[in-house]
Chain A
Amino acid sequence: MSILIDKETRILVQGITGREGGFHAGQCQKYSREFAGGGGAVVAGVTPGKGGQEADGVPVFNTVADAVRETGANASLIFVPPPFAADAIVEAVDADLPLVVCITEGIPVRDMVYVKRHMEDSGAVLIGPNCPGVITPGGCKMGIMPGHIHKEGTIGVISKSGTLTYEVVAQLTEQGLGQTTCVGIGGDPVIGTMYIDLLRMFEEDPATEAIIVIGEIGGSAEQDAARWAKENVTKPLVGFIAGQTAPPGRRMGHAGAIISGGEGTAAEKMRVMDECGIHVTESPAEMGLTMARALGKA
């Protein structure tokens, strides 16, 4: 078991004829072949104006609706450039796709404010934007993460970051702890899905034994999640917050990673997580070890 995606996922790639979209669609296919027995594969691409063409053997359509009708795609992975990405999300949502994963970094916040408002009326789940995507090891890779570092197992991973997620996955794998599903939720101020929704999914997923939450400075999503988890999550939780040494008022790469008005510091987030019973580590080198200890395996 897993959350969000598995071997039954039929991926549609919006922006498949672009450089990034083309490369990563190929990488997802490769993962499907080598690690998922052909499941969780890319079945369609969408680029307006290029309908009827093929991209590495994958049929390309002008609209998401066409692609869904013709191929039975049930999840969209978006690589569209920032000025057009919000529109791509809306198109996927309006085509009733239940899952949309947006990799694109640099979407204006205002566009996402409108997208999020629009999505309130839909049942779709949006992961990202500005995220590495989602992977269910051995099931489906729907994102830009290096697939081979992952391992099938029982840990759920939720993270705001890209490469820091790879780091935690590598540490977990090194401890012999595989993952059910790893979700990069994105580092922007307005994202589709926040920690709480995913904590709920992992809590309900029988295959997930424990969950690790990787946060960073800015906003209060980690504190909200910790308080929610205290009441609603029975599985062991491990937490780390990046940016303990970040100065206030500066945007640390991610558009959302900023301490403003004394709010959103790592210290505050770690304090609340700790108070809510989460196993918090200060060291980014001990994320895997902390999980192993929480499970009594180290």
Chain B
Amino acid sequence: MNIHEYQGKELLAKYGVAVPKGGVAETADEAERIAADLGGTVVVKAQIHAGGRGKGGGVKLAATPGEAKEVASQILGMTLVTHQTGPEGRLVKKVWVEEASDIERELYLGVVLDRATGRPTVMASTEGGMDIEEVAAKTPEKLLKVPVDPALSVWPSTARRVVYGLDLPAELVREGVKFVTNLYRFYDEMDASLLEINPLVQTKDGRILALDAKVNFDDNALYRHEEVAAMRDEDEEDPLEVEASKFNLNYIKLDGSVACMVNGAGLAMATMDIIKLAGAAPANFLDVGGGASKEMVENAFRILMDDPDVKAVFINIFGGILRCDILAEGVVEAVKTVNVGVPIIIRMEGTNVEKGREILEGSGLDFTVGKGMADSAEKVVAALNR
């Protein structure tokens, strides 16, 4: 799960990670008040779940509270387009107003999981403010990776490796060690899946601060972090994906025209792939899961049909735990209640496949039955071109 920058900074501050002082505002007046409380020059930053906000005009300096009010009124309500939002952009509903920092150096600090070893890794670089993937690709010698033994967590010696790697001046080493240690403690205790402080800044007045914070959490661990779960901002997600999540359906909207309903994530991806190979494009990823009920299948079908770009539906089920007869009943019910104006191609194999086919055939509804993935995908494309 993603959260906003302001939420990340508030959470990090609780763990003793140094962040600039600031406050969140939903109106220009609030922004003005926060700027007045902070005193001096402030930065007004649009709060959306996407990077590249500065380039898109979503981050502005303001020398006075009055100016803060003015730039906040420009940013609030704007549709911000960045390289991560897609061309449609995102509506800005909140701004974060923080004290401006007098920057001496920009650095990078992150904590990620190294999947090859199954261990968290602290990543640090003197090339702050840049895309870290680019640093890793072009100048890998400038990216320091320090693996962490989860049984020990970050010990001072681990933190010192990071701090000295960042070339922090002697008087900031102690503060740096504290920063790294607390950041890791946050990563571990809060079940973060990714932490990126980019940039981490060394200020002219001798402090280090998290100027930006990208914080992602492990969805599977949200049950033990109610405070984080409550930070979910559904406005930042696709409405159909939000709807699907209510029914425990794994749905991701894509931009093609063939809706897919599949059981199992791997098979769902493979189904998208075969649609592409056959010359069409998938409209979504949808895994109805192993233990899908008739109701889940119905809801899934309704969500697929809510996408106006859909021109055909491909149902690909390999029955294991999910029995084909259950799937067939759900589809038949759904087709009766949802207005389906597009062709439906069904491929079923596995548990109770005969019963499933009988239910489909006996329903009197118009389905095309495919044999195997290739034949079915070809039938989908043929239906599209009809």
A contact residues vs B (CB 8 Å cutoff): 20, 82-83, 106-110, 112-114, 116-117, 132, 144-146, 149, 159-167, 170, 187, 189-190, 214, 216-221, 224, 240, 242-247, 250, 252-257, 261-263, 266, 282-286
Q: B271 — nearest CB in chain A belongs to which residue? A: A284
Which of B254, B285, B374 touches A253 (beta carbons < 8 Å)?
B285
Number of A-B contacts (CB under 8 A): 177
Q: Does B170 contact A (CB under 8 A)?
A: no
Contact at A256–B285, with CB atoms within 8 Å? no
- Dominant SS at the A interface? loop
Interface string of B265-293 (1 = CB under 8 A from A): 11111111111110001100101001100
Please tell me if the beta carbons of B350 and A166 are within 8 angstroms of each other in the complex.
yes
Q: Which residues of A contact B133 (CB under 8 A)?
A: 261-263
Q: How far is the CA of A83 from the CA of B222 in the complex (A)?
A: 11
Interface residue B119 (Cβ < 8 Å from any Cβ of A): yes
Asked if A161 and B113 make an inter-chain contact with CB atoms under 8 angstroms apart, the answer reads no
Residues of B within 8 A of A218 (CB): 115
Q: Would you call B149 and A283 a contact (CB within 8 A)? A: no
Q: How far is the CA of A125 from the CA of B318 in the complex (A)?
A: 28
Is the CB–CB distance between B264 and A164 below 8 Å? yes
Q: Does B37 contact A (CB under 8 A)?
A: no
B307 within 8 Å of A (CB atoms) = no
Q: Which residues of B contact A (CB under 8 A)?
A: 113, 115-116, 118-120, 132-133, 136-137, 149-151, 188, 191, 193, 218-221, 223-224, 250, 252, 254, 262-277, 281-282, 285, 287, 290-291, 318-321, 349-351, 372-374, 377
Chain A residues positioned under 8 Å from B120 (CB to CB): 113
Q: Which residues of chain A come closer than 8 Å to B275, judged between CB atoms?
A: 245
A residues in contact with B115, CB < 8 Å? 189-190, 218-221, 256
Residues from chain B with Cβ under 8 Å of A282 in the complex: 273, 277
Alpha-carbon gap, A269 to B321, bound state (A): 30
24 CB-based A-B contacts, threshold 8 Å:
A83-B223, A117-B119, A117-B150, A144-B290, A146-B320, A161-B264, A162-B267, A163-B318, A164-B270, A167-B373, A187-B266, A218-B115, A240-B270, A243-B269, A244-B272, A245-B276, A245-B282, A252-B268, A253-B264, A253-B265, A255-B219, A282-B273, A282-B277, A283-B274
Cβ contact within 8 Å between A132 and B272: no
Cβ-closest 4 pairs across A and B:
A161-B266, A253-B265, A163-B264, A164-B266
Asked whether A242 and B220 contact (CB < 8 A) given A117-B150, A253-B287, the answer is: no
Q: Which of A113, A257, A282 has most B Cβ within 10 Å?
A: A113
Q: Is the CB of A242 within 8 A of B285?
A: no
Residues of chain A within 8 A of B319, CB atoms compared = 146
**Nearest Cβ in chain B — how far from A250, in angstroms?**
5
Q: Which residues of A contact B270 (CB under 8 A)?
A: 164, 167, 240, 242, 284
In whole angstroms, how far apart are the Cα atoms of A164 and B262 in the complex?
10
In the assembled complex, which residues on chain A have CB atoms less than 8 Å from the CB atom of B151? 114, 117
| Interchain CB contact under 8 A, A252 and B285 | yes
Complex CA distance for A114 and B201, rounded to whole angstroms: 32
CB distance from A215 to the nearest CB of B (A): 9
> In the complex, what's the smallest C-beta–C-beta distance from B252 to chain A, in angstroms?
5
